[in-house]
A and B are shown apart, each in its own frame.
Chain A
């Protein structure tokens, strides 16, 4: 990486002047023509967006008050190119100023900004006096880039997997079922009569996860099964596609594939005639099923009730269905994932759960709705290794925030946060361990075999 080009005002106009190698972007840009770019920008900015977009553009008074909301801005020494409105300036304003006549290389850079320098965490909506939804503006940019086929390679591959397999990680149907049966078998050493009920029609709950769980975190399914058994929950998992609740298409602006995924997921729950979907500890998937995917399909709220793991654990603990042997003793802190706190108001329930299972809990600051994003969410980590260093530089504030708590365990009830915080811990040498709630819950709860 070369040094950024510094302009006369003392700030790098283009913080990533050295182009990061990304085959997806390069191949996409090679196919662009001025006419095509203009046509797509017009299509999206004139036809697909409407009153909301116009209101945001006409209301923004360029006051810069959104800046302090953004972890990228704060972590990059307050470089204004990383401020929320600064990113809109480099993308949307530029497209509008040039009436769609944007050079292919500029589209490449805009794709980078929208995909890898914004986590769509919506913290800036809470700092803009007018509540302008800048995450939405960045999604509009991503949508344009998607239509122009200039999307970072890694996340596009994930979307391709979604499209072909209805899950995020190219998990084949038989591999899925095999994995569940393997976890069931392992769990039987702990609780001999445990089941992971597949395809149980009329069960109360369908438990859905994201594809990385069967792919390389199968112990999470194991631990969930133990929890379900212990709490006596009537649950099932589907044996067909539709089991994966994740959604990277939502983050590349590929709304059509997002719609297919969510339809499959909801229809699977309806086929199994369950009363609700309980989902594992994932943030973006919650956003997809609770907020964005359902809307694309025309449902104001999800057609099947969605219960995030945090709320599920809360309900079980509150109802006394799970008993705690001995609380976890290590000092812990809690990272509020954007999509379930700012996106779902689950931060107080998360605290109830943490306090119920841990003895030494220290808050990080700021917290709850105001928590800093992990810098992995919004599809940023899914854009892969080329952008990792920028992602790390873009979240020094998170490292400081964690270090200040002095806790050695960070609870992050979200997959993206989990991976993002592990990277941050390594990069900034924080030497903290990232855990899901279920990891601790599994360790401290009373289990049937121990009665």
Chain B
């Protein structure tokens, strides 16, 4: 068990981080290269000012018409994504691991806060799952891959929560937590989860087109 733990937090952790960062970097560079080679016009419409104007609106809760039309979804989506991004990066035990791995450290969230935020991520996933099943317009678009991605996201948080509370058999939960977290990291560049970066780029492009060419708002 200890060997497995060291293996997962050592070489496999390094591997998954490399695949995640390398994969996303490659994805973005490849996208820019393809744009340069085949859709160069996009570069001449991209506008920092209008792109950011759009992005800021879409990253501010309730700043767009559609967000106001779906208040529950908006609230859950923002809380979910904020917690999803903050907890893994600012969790004390992750920081300790990073210190062992790369000898760098940063400020950590209080454990109680991280615990609550983890619950929020899990709650968000349950909300999204329920929405997929209940809302006809979402169910219509849903296929197995959507449930799979949702599971991919929820598992590290669920197991992390379990392990943190040291419920029965928690050492197994720790192993499962590390493994599922690493699988998630590796999966991001190769799945629709890459919207974490690509979604910002599509927004910036649409914002640029709307602002610069169409002289209209896009929110």
Contacts and interface: CB of A to CB of B under 8 A. Distances in A.
Contacts of B167: none
A232 interface: no
Interface in B124-154: 135-143, 146, 149
Contacts of B39: 50-52
10 contacts: A50-B37, A61-B192, A73-B137, A127-B65, A127-B66, A131-B207, A131-B218, A344-B214, A345-B214, A369-B216
A370 B210 CA distance: 13
A343 to B, nearest CB: 5
B90 interface: no
A127 B205 CA distance: 15
Contacts of A132: 202, 206
Given A129-B199, A130-B202, A131-B206, A59 B194 contact: yes
Contacts of B149: 61
A58 B205 contact: no
Nearest to B143: A62
Contacts of B139: 9, 80
Given A55-B198, A61-B195, A300-B41, 6 more contacts: A55-B201, A58-B198, A83-B140, A83-B141, A126-B217, A131-B203
Interface in A74-121: 78, 80-81, 83, 85-86, 89
Interface residues of B, number: 50
Interface of A: 9-11, 50-52, 54-56, 58-65, 67-69, 73, 78, 80-81, 83, 85-86, 89, 125-127, 129-133, 290-291, 295, 300-301, 341-345, 347, 366, 369-370
A291 B34 CA distance: 22
4 nearest CB pairs, A to B:
A345-B215, A131-B206, A80-B140, A51-B34
A8 to B, nearest CB: 12
Given A59-B199, A62-B141, A342-B216, A52 B205 contact: yes
B7 interface: no
B140 A64 contact: yes
A86 B73 contact: no
A81 B199 CA distance: 24
Contact of A369 (B140, B202, B209, B217): B217
A295 B41 CA distance: 8
A69 B215 CA distance: 20
A370 B58 CA distance: 16
A86 B140 contact: yes
Given A62-B142, A129-B58, A130-B203, A52 B214 contact: no
Contact of A86 (B37, B141, B202): B141
A65 B77 CA distance: 12
A54 B140 CA distance: 22
B45 interface: yes
B38 A59 contact: no
A10 B217 contact: no
B66 A69 contact: yes
